[in-house]
Chains A and B, each alone.
Chain A
Amino acid sequence: MKESAEMRQRYLTTVKGILAMEKTAVESELKNKTGILDGKLFAKIITAGAANIRANAEMINALNVFPVPDGDTGSNMSMTMDNGAAALSGEELTLFEAAEAVSQGMLMGARGNSGVILSQFFYGVARGLEGMTEADAVQIGRAMKEGVKRAYSAVMKPAEGTILTVARESVEYAVANINENSDAISVFSDMTEEAERSLERTPELLPILKEAGVVDSGGMGLLKIMEGMTAVLEGKSVTYEAPSAMQKSTAAKAGGFGVDSEMTYGYCTELLLQLQNSKTDVINFDMDNLNAFLASVGNSIVSFMNGSIVKIHVHTLTPEKVLEFCRRYGEFLTVKIENMSVQHTGLEEEKKDEKPVIEKEFGIVAVCSGEGMKETFEGIGADVVIDGGQTNNPSAGDFLQAFKNVSAEHIFVFPNNSNIILAAKQAADMYKDADVRVIESKSIGAGYVGISSFDTSSGDTDEIEAEINDSMAEVETANISVAVRDAAINGVNIRKGDIMGLIGKLVAISTPDIKKAIAGVIDKLFSNVKRFMLTVFCGAEADASVTEFLKNYFKEKVANGEIYLINGGQSVYPYILVAE
């Protein structure tokens, strides 16, 4: 508690310092001017806001209610702002054109709940500035109020003590203070002043913050953005460098794969294999054996046998192994090997605006992180897996790309994290080429159960969706993790280094002994006698003897229970337990 109180103090007194970076120095031209906001100035305040939140992103990430190293609000908001800034082309734009470009960029780049709320805020601001070449204090105030309205409507159940409160209170305060002497500078500095006070009040509104001894991370993010904006308006120098991901790589321009490119996507390998009697028993050729081999060297496997010819499609980093293996059984009729990095960048450049070809009726997009998880989700039927999770929220743009890649008429999306659902929904609203349904799977466990229950036999999209939701209704997911600091949450005292069992959003148990933590979690999960099935994702830090204990404890505890162990390889959580 002492430590986190100190941290809080430190955050709150963080100077409005802005990282000085090289490149494009943005200097205020407002001095001695009218205080009118135009397109050029709008672009400057956006980049200044983006610069300041980036400088503070790590500090904001650490404002996590749970003492788990998985906070990512700062990174999410920073990346969302970066996408807004990147959308500005550098041409002379009217105020509305600039605001519209920024809001579109942010809608696409929105990550995490706070990022989505932020993007909706700027979308509202753009609506409030519609048709304007410039705006005075009153008009700025009106646009900001539009932004607040829009931000609130982005969330189904708006909670106070969050970024929403900070946005609303700061805008209300600034608008109330507008008089004949007001200008853009005074509006923004009033907003920033009140944002700081509002942020300090968030623990009073949201008990979980108070208990954890932190202020709201999203609110802090908004404050940092406003500080950057105000600083540049007040004439301070702010530098902003677009992150490297926003810059187009020269390799991509040169055709996708160059001397320094990394082989990440592997080769799309397709071949027709003529089985031969001299090499194998053609009639009894074992496709399972072949598929098992292909799975060991690649993914996206499609294989079938027609007569004595085997057709294979596989994505692999080692096509030579595939060729070598297959030749043990016959000779090739055709072989095609394509570097998918070339394909990939080529696709990005050339086919950006092409409409996807609809290849099937139903498709599934899922979010998870780690190779083991990805394989597991593909194995149960996900068509496209977006790499992401608690510490790495995918953007709305990532979802849009995934929707294109699925090329299905109806797409079911499993965000698998409560902080990713909004971005998925935002993308679903933006996507017009398919009927996209976002399933509100708030955990890996819920998503796993939902996808593995996926059944299209009814053929009715609404019914399929309802069945998925039914299957997830009884599911409870628990995470086992190590506490990175002392804390007290839901009345549970947590010491740094403790093993915590988190069931949903509740800390069920915290103890130095991982076996005790696991036993405690299993006891709680299966106090509901209707449950009998446990799926365990073993993480990168899972220990074989602990896993054995887990298995035995479950079998003792739950009569006729069923346990399934999956090698998820996830970080942060040695075990994820899914009870149903």
Chain B
Amino acid sequence: MSFAVFTDTSANLPTPMIKEKNIHIVPFLYYYDGKESACLDTEQFDGHAFYDMIREGVKVNTTQINPHKYVEYMRPVVESGEDIIFVGMSSGISGSFNSLRLAAAELMEKFPDRKVCLVDALTASLGEGIPVLKAVELRDAGVEVEEAERQLNDFCKKMCSVFMVDDLMHLKRTGRLSGAVAFIGTVLQLKPLMKGDETGHIVNIGKARGRRRAIETLAEKYDALAVEPENQLVGIAHADCEEEANYLAELLNKNHPPKELLMVCYEPVTGSHVGPGTIALFFEGDEDVRRK
């Protein structure tokens, strides 16, 4: 029996793709200048204007979704008799996943025959979006919900998220940086390299002198760690630096061209945490890739 695929807007998938693949989506909210906005249609989002605003010093805040909201979104589907697979943003960087857990428990208590299976993406952006697309594949192939949950959890462990931020300040400000940083973060030219670790936290893995070298280091990671890239959908997300994202794509295609490449502009919620100028790369490695 089939299931419905849910995710949140941090999966960073383009709205047309979400519609075409029949994915249910829970929008995250963000605030600035006293205004609340919701991540909705990616086609309407002006990334350049948004990240320029942060560059100018506007502080954007985000908030986690409460359990009640999640229940509201999922209840009609459960009521209609469908099971759910929800691929959510990493529990290591947002409290939303915990809300989601409470919501799922509540729904399953009320609807004992239904399954609401949760998959902790252990990362965000396309590192979460690619597993969502995988869930769609499994759904369309008619895989049973619990088997799909198992496969997706394994898949997320293998999803490598590495990224370069332009300035660590943003991650520090919003408390999304875990662990120690081995260098002084005040040198403008030194670009911090980060990854999502095996527990879904964001940690510093080094630095590169200049953005170009940082991008080259990301490509080197891909060359070294990607498993069968020719069969993979690889993701690149950028926070208003498309030209450099294209350079990264060029580098990926040079040695081990992936089967497919999806490039997106960071949606505003995750994007406000990593900051303008971030470039992230998401691909599938082996079971231990998050420890490397």
Contact = CB atoms under 8 A, between A and B. Distances in A.
Contacts of B182: 455, 457
A579 to B, nearest CB: 11
Given A455-B183, A532-B212, A560 B189 contact: no
B49 interface: no
A335 interface: no
Interface in B139-190: 173, 182-184, 186-190
Which of B183, B190, B207 counts the most A-chain CB atoms under 10 A from its CB? B183
A580 B190 CA distance: 13
B209 interface: yes
B188 A471 contact: no
B209 A379 contact: no
Which of A532, A562, A564, A580 counts the most B-chain CB atoms under 10 A from its CB? A562
A379 B212 contact: no
Interface string B62-88: 000000000000000000000000000
Contacts of A564: 188-189
Contacts of A452: 187, 189-190
A564 B209 CA distance: 12
Given A452-B189, A533-B189, A535-B189, A562 B184 contact: no
Contact of A379 (B186, B211, B243): B186
A381 B184 CA distance: 8
A531 to B, nearest CB: 10
A339 interface: no
Contacts of B189: 452, 533, 535, 562, 564
A430 interface: no
Interface residues of A, number: 17
B210 interface: yes
B223 interface: no
Contact of A380 (B173, B187, B243): B187
Interface residues of B, number: 17
Interface string A433-470: 00000000000000001001101010000000000000
A8 to B, nearest CB: 44
Contact of B186 (A380, A455, A533, A560): A380
A453 B184 CA distance: 10
A533 B216 CA distance: 14
A288 interface: yes
B184 A380 contact: yes
Contacts of A381: 184, 187
Interface string A377-412: 001110000000000000000000000000000000
Contacts of B186: 379-380
Contacts of B211: 560, 562
Nearest to B241: A560
Interface in A537-579: 560, 562, 564
Contacts of B243: 560
B45 interface: no
B247 interface: yes
Interface string B207-234: 1011110000000000000000000000
A92 B217 CA distance: 69
A453 B209 contact: yes
B183 A562 contact: no
Nearest to A286: B173
Interface in A46-93: none
B57 to A, nearest CB: 12
B244 interface: yes
Contacts of A449: 209
Interface of A: 288, 379-381, 449, 452-453, 455, 457, 471, 532-533, 535, 560, 562, 564, 580
16 contacts: A379-B186, A379-B187, A380-B184, A449-B209, A452-B187, A452-B189, A452-B190, A453-B190, A455-B183, A533-B189, A533-B209, A533-B212, A560-B211, A560-B247, A562-B210, A564-B188
Interface of B: 173, 182-184, 186-190, 207, 209-212, 243-244, 247
Q: Which 5 A-B pairs have the closest CB atoms?
A: A452-B187, A533-B210, A564-B188, A380-B187, A457-B182
Given A380-B186, A381-B187, A560-B211, 8 more contacts: A379-B186, A453-B190, A471-B209, A532-B212, A533-B210, A560-B212, A562-B211, A564-B189
